[in-house]
Amino acid sequence: FYSSTINYKANNDSGVVLQKNFQWNTLPAFDALMGVRHGNGRDWWVVSQRYTTSFTPSNAFYFYQVTPLGISTPFSQSIGSLRKTGGGHLIFNSSGTQFAQVSWMGMIELYNFDRCTGTITSTIPIEQEPLTSPYPHTFTSCTYSKDNSKLYVIDLSQSTSTYYLLQYDLLAVNISASKYVVDSLVAPTAPW
């Protein structure tokens, strides 16, 4: 994936592009890409996964540290459940100490994160991808509640073309069993 550096204060606050299309790596990027402030309050961590289209299972995360001096060479950590898709979503909680990941094939997992070292310290599986098809759940997006006690997930049912808004209680002893369907909506048909 690529980025550009912009001085948004230059040119009377109109901005100037300083560097365009800087390539971070040569790996295809996973849909889930997120940044969180470093524990030092100045730098940032950017977390990504490699995109896979061959259904080759992977659980590798790539971490980049962004500082005033530039972008570090990534380091990787293989941890948590294997996923077989290049699609999904990743989001940090408001304190940056945990992130959730969902996949298009039905995985939901939490990762406890150390903002000082940029490493995952532990995982909490909520839903696992089935080993083989059919894949009844397509989790497309997720977010934390304001107080970080709940996780909300969008699930597109392939069999009924219905979107479900799911809620998981992150304080429950069994998070998976706390699943609650908040609402549903039949997917609109395309006009073409």
pLDDT at 30: 66
Q: What is the pTM of this model?
A: 0.87
In degrees, rounded to 5, the angle at the alpha carbon of residue 118 between the alpha carbons of residues 3 and 152 is 80
| Three-state secondary structure call for residue 134 | coil
In degrees, rounded to 5, the angle at the alpha carbon of residue 146 between the alpha carbons of residues 176 and 118 is 75
pLDDT at 175: 98
pLDDT at 100: 97
Cβ distance 45 to 65 under 8 Å?
A: yes
**Per-residue pLDDT of the chain in tens (192 residues, 90 and over written 9):** 788 888 888 888 888 998 888 888 777 766 678 999 999 999 999 998 877 766 678 888 999 999 998 888 889 999 999 888 778 899 999 999 999 999 988 999 999 999 999 999 999 999 998 877 777 788 999 999 999 999 999 999 877 889 999 999 999 999 999 999 999 998 776 555
pLDDT at 114: 98
pLDDT at 54: 63
C-alpha–C-alpha distance, residues 30 and 76, integer Å: 14
